[in-house]
Structure 1
């Protein structure tokens, strides 16, 4: 979008009193240089940032998912703003007059409305996509096909064209070629009907939709946070009860096993001695005597013991000793025994699974998962607030002025510097979009580093 209409009864005359390498300009030369450097930097960042977004989606495999096509469409819209709209606006602001002719002026204004509207409507499409994904995740996951997403993106651009094209077919108050050569101003039409039509389609209706959608998402997120927090508390309490019960049961089992072992120890050893070599029995008794004083009894050792007879194909005739360790998870204390061999550091998946099934470990795992999930939900809610805040901050001032002044014949618009500042504030949204939608995404950050040749 470009300059607010300047009314004839207000003193907005241009005073070309400053000479520079650009000719006669209506701003001091230092201000012209400062403006050029600042706005050129904004243009460069916009171009680079949005190109990185597009390349990231197509070159980084984790980002090649269908919903990221909306991000690509948004980046393309912002990229066209930076290429087709911003540079000509810089020249127009510095010179204070339009020097490119009426036809370029018409195409520039149309591109301005088209690209900025497409950027805003893409933000709206992203909001709706997230809303459907949250409120109806199972069904929408099936409906969110490449064809459907591309159709929605095409609808965004067609709607943007419908909003921006009417001035080209007559809904305008642009001056004729001769009058244009005298005025040398290029500004949006002041037709009240088109002002209302374009403002509603380009900003106010999308704003209402985004506000409702993000409010629903925020409420759903807060509700989920409360539910997850309540579930976390219940899991903690349940896990503690299970851990206590399991610990008491294990204690009783160990006492029972210990009593049975003490009662039947000698017959068992005698029976075993008849089937094995004497040095084998001696080895077992040595292991029993060396067992730590943590109630790690003979029975668990015999169960986990490896021998040549257990594995006929084994090339080793060495019997593995065992190690017992007291495990304290903060909820319960338990004893775990495992073979003391080189394979200890490379436990099989079944051994790791058995270890993981201990109540204390399960409790810790559930609690950690709950913390991670709650943290993600809070970050998502905070991101939604930033998205809406930046969007409203950038575009609301411009559209309020765009709608207000054509309906107030006695009002004089603010100074050209303030108008230009508010106009560029809207353009800056195209700079911030790739930052907002990617800085909170780890995959995008990794893709950016990869494209820029930085270490991931």
Structure 2
């Protein structure tokens, strides 16, 4: 009798539990789905979708502006366009699929594409980082001696920086994940996490440390370089101020104008660097913590860190639009369709 009562109580309590939702209801080994209620679900799609759209169209405008207008054909701007290409690809190949995974808590795009998606995520992140590092070095050379700078940072040097940024980033990310080196020593964990409808890449402590080093070293270079840039800019500003209203030679006046323009460009790109570090540094720190403490980060914290990093891809075009009048003018010409007219590539967007 007591056994029957316990069975009755157990069956009653089990019937009160909410049904477990699966990513694939009729598939053995499906991941458990943790859906949001309708209100937050719609809000998350709006927030994540807006970031993806902004990353795609904002960076597309940067790329078109630099490539179309001849006045913008400079090594620095080509680096900026290549950086925008990396952010554009994040908006196209990474953010839309991550949006579905984050909101639905399931991966519906296949295991093969999961690996490719993760590789793209890492490759474009490192590509952006290396581009920003080379841009900081470019700005340092421009600010320290703006008149000699064009002979030092030539188009061939710029091309080498772009090739390295892409080739190294893509090679590292794809070889690491497709070789399976990231999972060495974590076979039990990978087996436990494996389910149909999941997309989680485990990375052992060794490769997490290497990944963090690849993030930390360019970050350190940028910090040192931009610190020197702002010290030099401050010194130049004092020197110009000390001249007062004294008559100057035309060559000196031109040098001052060029130096002022280069300092402004360095300041604007420095803001882009700070935005990148603020967006990505928490994610990399969390990766280190997770690797050594057994992946303890709650899912919602991880999603916040990931999307904070993703949103950086949408930030750079906003930075350029806010600080660069030439970019605002280029956007107006592109959106109104005036770039389709003949000889618009020769339009001057700013005075020398």
Alignment partners' CA distance in 2, 1:94 and 1:199: 28
Alignment partners' CA distance in 2, 1:154 and 1:430: 20
Q: Paired residue for 1:200?
A: 213
**1:151 equivalent in alignment to 2:160:** yes
Q: CA deviation at 1:428?
A: 1.1
Alignment partners' CA distance in 1, 2:266 and 2:136: 13
Alignment partners' CA distance in 1, 2:103 and 2:323: 37
- Which of 98, 104, 121 is 1:95 aligned to? 104
Alignment partners' CA distance in 2, 1:59 and 1:400: 39
Distance 1:376 1:69, change over 3 A: closer
- Which of 53, 71, 78 is 2:87 aligned to? 78
- Which of 334, 340, 343 is 1:451 aligned to? 334
Structure 1 segment 82-231 matched on structure 2, within 5 A:
82-164=91-173, 165-173=175-183, 182=195, 184-201=197-214, 203-231=215-243
Query: Could you tell me whether the CA contact under 8 Å between 2:86 and 2:127 is conserved in 1?
Result: yes
Is the partner of 1:412 in helix, strand or coil?
coil
Aligned residue-pair number: 308
- Which of 390, 397, 406 is 2:275 aligned to? 390
Q: CA deviation at 1:119?
A: 1.3
Query: Could you tell me whether the CA contact under 8 Å between 1:18 and 1:27 is conserved in 2?
Result: no
> C-alpha deviations, 1:369-421, integer Å up to 9, x for none?
99978976775565355234322221111111011121124x731x3222211
Name whichever structure is richer in strand by fraction: 1
Query: Could you tell me whether the CA contact under 8 Å between 1:225 and 1:377 is conserved in 2?
Result: no
Is the partner of 1:39 in helix, strand or coil?
helix
Q: CA deviation at 1:88?
A: 0.9
Distance 1:86 1:130, change over 3 A: same
Query: Could you tell me whether the CA contact under 8 Å between 1:131 and 1:213 is conserved in 2?
Result: yes
Query: Could you tell me whether the CA contact under 8 Å between 1:43 and 1:82 is conserved in 2?
Result: yes
- Which of 273, 277, 289 is 1:404 aligned to? 289
**1:29 equivalent in alignment to 2:42:** no
Q: CA deviation at 1:162?
A: 3.3
Alignment partners' CA distance in 1, 2:142 and 2:256: 23
Alignment partners' CA distance in 2, 1:422 and 1:132: 34
RMSD: 3.3
Alignment partners' CA distance in 2, 1:168 and 1:24: 27
Query: Could you tell me whether the CA contact under 8 Å between 1:70 and 1:153 is conserved in 2?
Result: yes
Alignment partners' CA distance in 2, 1:369 and 1:106: 53
Q: Paired residue for 1:336?
A: none
Query: Could you tell me whether the CA contact under 8 Å between 2:136 and 2:270 is conserved in 1?
Result: no
Q: Paired residue for 2:301?
A: 418
Q: CA deviation at 1:185?
A: 2.6
Query: Could you tell me whether the CA contact under 8 Å between 2:63 and 2:84 is conserved in 1?
Result: yes
Query: Could you tell me whether the CA contact under 8 Å between 1:398 and 1:423 is conserved in 2?
Result: yes
Q: CA deviation at 1:65?
A: 2.4
TM-score by length of 1: 0.60
Distance 1:373 1:54, change over 3 A: closer
Query: Could you tell me whether the CA contact under 8 Å between 2:143 and 2:263 is conserved in 1?
Result: no
Distance 1:184 1:139, change over 3 A: same
Q: Paired residue for 1:436?
A: 319
Query: Could you tell me whether the CA contact under 8 Å between 2:146 and 2:262 is conserved in 1?
Result: no
Distance 1:70 1:378, change over 3 A: closer
Structure with larger Rg: 1
Q: CA deviation at 1:166?
A: 1.4
Q: Paired residue for 2:48?
A: 39
TM-score by length of 2: 0.77
Alignment partners' CA distance in 1, 2:288 and 2:191: 28
Q: CA deviation at 1:232?
A: 2.0
Q: CA deviation at 1:182?
A: 2.7
Distance 1:199 1:163, change over 3 A: farther
Alignment partners' CA distance in 1, 2:22 and 2:176: 38
Distance 1:123 1:143, change over 3 A: same
Query: Could you tell me whether the CA contact under 8 Å between 2:136 and 2:225 is conserved in 1?
Result: yes
